[in-house]
Structure 1
Amino acid sequence: MTTQKMNEKLYYDLLNIEKLLDKVKLQGIEYLKQLSDAPTSTKQTVETEETLNDVGIGGFDTLKEFNNKFGKIIVGSSGPRYLGFVTGGSTPASIIGDWLTTIYDQNTQAIKGQGDISAVIEIETINLLLDLFNLPNNFIGGFVTGATMSNFTCLGVARQWVGKQLGKDFAKDGITERINVLSAVPHSSSIKTLSMLGIGSKNIEKIKTEQGNRESIDVEDLKLKINSLNGEPFILITSAGTVNTVDFDDFIAISELKEKHNFWWHIDGAFGAFAACSPKYRHLISGWENADSITIDCHKWLNVPYESAVFFVKEQHKVLQTETFQNSNAPYLGNPLDNFNYLNFLPENSRRLKALPAWFSLKAYGKRGYQDIVENSIEMANILGQFIDRSKVFELLAPVRLNNICFTLSGTENQDKVLDFLIKLNDTEKVFMTPTVYNGKKGIRASFCKLENHKTRC
């Protein structure tokens, strides 16, 4: 009887795992030390291989090859001068949690029974987040990869809700009726979600926005749209912070409408939800606790590593949620919460312990820590906004409401120069911003959502 010999390179790495991880640790520490000065963009290119080595080269040489080949294209996207896409950084505690997530390598689903019950950690983290956002504990929450999958989860349950209002089971039988969707300025991830859910990316009845350079829902026009539906159920997608100008819909007014009309209320609060962390700005989300579902990104203002977001869906919709996501091999009997398993509450059957980085960061820095991060980011945004407002070269396209600055070059004659200016700006590798279009004008958007260290502030 013969046994298969282990690959020599793998065997060597297993014997030297401590030295290998030490080497990676030192490299990571060095990167983090210089993150504030790291290039924010690069014009480097890399030729990619199409063949695989037969026996491998081992972990040490692979790390060396990675550094030589790909190190030059890694930019400081988690650093304070990378102001594109509302990209967060990583707190020290969240890095601890992320490393341990990889090491422990759990498939997080169950909270009791035999085998992996690491979902207990996720449940506790969701409770910590509800406390951070001052939301009631009548939401079921879970971790997904990002706002797109959070919106997908929330609107997937909304789709099932609409079906049940019409006496249908869309999860089992498919969509057989039109689903009414109302929104003013939905994020692209919500539009993509409608496509993935079979509702249709074009199936949105647009609501007017408020006058006065706003992106928020005109409540009077919303009332007209609701009345025109003659009592038909619908999904309302609202914003806790629009992408360009971080505008907020009037959640108090919408709460009042929800008492009178039959609709599913979803809030996309990917990053704007963090206004709840600050006494100065939490009025912006007053009334949001009455929503049926909420999307929040953690890899933005919570400052944990990618990929991390949460969904919150009201517990009263738990049966609809399990009807939507129930694994065919894992039927439940009776109350789905009695034998809770994330397998039946969200899209993925295989899941990392995404909650652990968030748990570490929340426990390490608490409510005051996140208040500091949020208010510091807003302070930085206001400083840049004031500079642009005083400048003769630039023009603010909208007021600085929270942590985003939306601006352009002054003068209509310079509209065709905006993109060239942005390319040149990003090519300096000192800062990175993204292009946008706002009210028909080509613009530039800068987003602050990271912890600024003293060196950066000075």
Structure 2
Amino acid sequence: MGDWLVSAYDQNVSNDGDSLATSVEREALGLLRSLFGLPESFEGAFVSGATAANLVSLATARQWVMERLGHDVSEEGLWGLPRPVVLGGAPHASVLKALSILGMGRRSVEAVPCLPDRPVMDPKALESRLAALGGAPAIVLASAGEVNTGDFDDLEALGQLCRRYGAWLHVDGAFGIFAACSPAHEQLLRGLAHADSVAADGHKWLNVPYDSGIVFTRHLALQERVFRAVAAYLGQGPDLLHRTPENSRRFRALPAWMTLMAYGRDGHRALVERGCALARDLGEGLAASPHYAVLAPVKLNIVCFALRSGDAARRDRLLQALQADGRVHFTPTQYAGRPGLRAAFSNWRTDAADLPLILAALEAAASAPPAG
């Protein structure tokens, strides 16, 4: 209903004082900051999704790096300037896309070795690389909820290293940041307050319609140097349009605000914990199956698994059979050198009654004779 009202209202959320919309956005950001356990020093904005949130974060990080090197990239551009040092373990494709758009390039990411059998950075390997820079600025890309396994970088260890060596810590928390809602999982985010920028996504666990990302930063002045739009008709106030790539902005904060007010902290804790319980139970059911193997421990709400035998072609036939069956939907992935499948629980309508149906559909698809 909130999203319908946004379309009917059709208010441009750019300048403070034009309407109540900017006040609602600021309040929604404050509620989310509290929900995620971020300090009040973090300022935010709504953007179109986690990809845009990563873009805004890394544009701000780029400005920081270049100012450290004596350049104002927002005014001078990148031409002739040194390439920023970017370090990461297993960054999401949207982070690489943002680096491409920003002119830093996907290949700018230097791979930091990961811990054994986990897609997360080895803090000792990161410390070695940061120490070798001799004080030169760097951007460190961390994950709060890796896309295949739901695993988390050690944000406390990485944050301490970034503070010690003067690096920028960006945390991609598209869905994993909602672990903060659950006392059983909030420790996964220990150290989040060390971040310089954070990306989150409302259309995942917040369950609002698409076009709802959130970006937070401890360096609002830097962010506004990148995204400010100066024109007489735009005014000169501390307006939200100076925080994001868009001048004209949809009132995307309203559905999020209504959801937060309707369900509150307890409602979102229940939603997160139910999704995590379903993922854990699905992992146990698959481990007992003669047809499937779980490829990684279930950390949060994602189950990464594969057929016990067969190649990518067989996996793809299985996915086609599941799609034709119509009861459940999975996505393909590649993990630990194997063609796999990925299940992610976040929809508020999915509950324990769906689990037998999911397992039955998987067993039926795996047991069916090959087509043709």
TM-score normalised according to structure 2 size? 0.91
**Quick one: which of 275, 289, 300 aligns to 2:179?**
275
Question: 2:364 matched to which residue of 1?
Answer: none
| 1:229 maps to 2:128 | no
Q: Report the residue type matching 1:304 in the other structure.
A: V
**Quick one: which of 32, 36, 43 aligns to 1:133?**
36
Partner Cα distance (2:124, 2:247) in 1: 43
Question: 1:409 matched to which residue of 2?
Answer: 307
Q: Report the residue type matching 1:327 in the other structure.
A: A
Judge conservation of contact 1:378–1:403 (CA < 8 Å) in 2: yes
Question: 1:177 matched to which residue of 2?
Answer: 82
**Quick one: which of 25, 46, 49 aligns to 1:146?**
49
**Quick one: which of 428, 443, 453 aligns to 2:325?**
428
Moved more, 372-381 or 220-229: 220-229
Alignment of 1:210-249 (within 5 A): 210-211=115-116, 213-249=117-153
| 1:168 maps to 2:58 | no
Question: 2:268 matched to which residue of 1?
Answer: 370
Count how many residue pairs are aligned between Structure 1 and Structure 2: 353
Partner Cα distance (2:232, 2:48) in 1: 23
Q: Report the residue type matching 2:62 in the other structure.
A: R
| 1:318 maps to 2:220 | yes
| 1:305 maps to 2:203 | no
Question: 2:198 matched to which residue of 1?
Answer: 294
Partner Cα distance (2:223, 2:22) in 1: 18
Judge conservation of contact 1:110–1:117 (CA < 8 Å) in 2: no
Partner Cα distance (2:341, 2:96) in 1: 22
Of all paired residues, the percent bearing the same amino acid is: 41
1:246-294: per-residue Cα shift (whole Å, max 9, x none)?
Answer: 1101111112212311111100000011100000000000010110000
Question: 1:264 matched to which residue of 2?
Answer: 168
Q: Report the residue type matching 2:7 in the other structure.
A: T
Compare CA radii of gyration and give the structure with the larger one. 1
1:154-182: per-residue Cα shift (whole Å, max 9, x none)?
Answer: 11100100010001011111112211100
Partner Cα distance (2:166, 2:275) in 1: 38
TM-superposed CA distance for 1:323, in Å, is 1.2
Partner Cα distance (1:101, 1:414) in 2: 47
Question: 1:361 matched to which residue of 2?
Answer: 259
| 1:158 maps to 2:55 | no
Judge conservation of contact 1:109–1:118 (CA < 8 Å) in 2: no
TM-superposed CA distance for 1:103, in Å, is 1.5
Question: 2:346 matched to which residue of 1?
Answer: 449
TM-superposed CA distance for 1:318, in Å, is 2.2
TM-superposed CA distance for 1:102, in Å, is 1.2
Partner Cα distance (1:420, 1:430) in 2: 16
| 1:381 maps to 2:286 | no
Q: Using a 3 Å threshold, how does the CA distance of structure 1 residues 219 and 453 change in structure 2: closer, same or farther?
A: closer
Question: 1:399 matched to which residue of 2?
Answer: 297
Q: Using a 3 Å threshold, how does the CA distance of structure 1 residues 198 and 352 change in structure 2: closer, same or farther?
A: same
Q: Report the residue type matching 1:289 in the other structure.
A: A
Q: Report the residue type matching 2:279 in the other structure.
A: A
Judge conservation of contact 2:311–2:339 (CA < 8 Å) in 1: no
Q: Report the residue type matching 2:289 in the other structure.
A: S
| 1:101 maps to 2:3 | no
- SS at 2:129 equivalent: helix
Partner Cα distance (2:171, 2:312) in 1: 33
TM-score normalised according to structure 1 size? 0.75
Q: Using a 3 Å threshold, how does the CA distance of structure 1 residues 215 and 427 change in structure 2: closer, same or farther?
A: same
Partner Cα distance (1:391, 1:245) in 2: 20
Partner Cα distance (2:324, 2:54) in 1: 34
Question: 1:20 matched to which residue of 2?
Answer: none
**Quick one: which of 173, 182, 197 aligns to 2:102?**
197
Question: 1:209 matched to which residue of 2?
Answer: 114
Partner Cα distance (2:13, 2:251) in 1: 6
Q: Report the residue type matching 1:443 in the other structure.
A: G
Q: Report the residue type matching 2:122 in the other structure.
A: D
Partner Cα distance (1:116, 1:453) in 2: 37
Partner Cα distance (2:62, 2:160) in 1: 23
Partner Cα distance (2:143, 2:300) in 1: 14
Partner Cα distance (1:117, 1:447) in 2: 36
Question: 2:361 matched to which residue of 1?
Answer: none
- SS at 1:279 equivalent: coil
- Unmatched segments (≥5 aa) in structure 2: 357-372
Judge conservation of contact 2:6–2:252 (CA < 8 Å) in 1: yes
1:23-50: per-residue Cα shift (whole Å, max 9, x none)?
Answer: xxxxxxxxxxxxxxxxxxxxxxxxxxxx
- SS at 2:106 equivalent: coil
Partner Cα distance (2:119, 2:197) in 1: 21
Judge conservation of contact 1:376–1:452 (CA < 8 Å) in 2: no
Q: Using a 3 Å threshold, how does the CA distance of structure 1 residues 343 and 149 change in structure 2: closer, same or farther?
A: same
**Quick one: which of 346, 368, 377 aligns to 2:244?**
346
- SS at 1:295 equivalent: strand
Q: Report the residue type matching 1:436 in the other structure.
A: T
Judge conservation of contact 1:238–1:249 (CA < 8 Å) in 2: yes
Question: 2:25 matched to which residue of 1?
Answer: 122
Partner Cα distance (2:62, 2:225) in 1: 11
Partner Cα distance (1:268, 1:332) in 2: 31
- Unmatched segments (≥5 aa) in structure 1: 1-95
Moved more, 184-193 or 228-237: 228-237
Alignment of 1:20-169 (within 5 A): 96-112=1-17, 115-169=18-72
Moved more, 219-228 or 161-170: 219-228
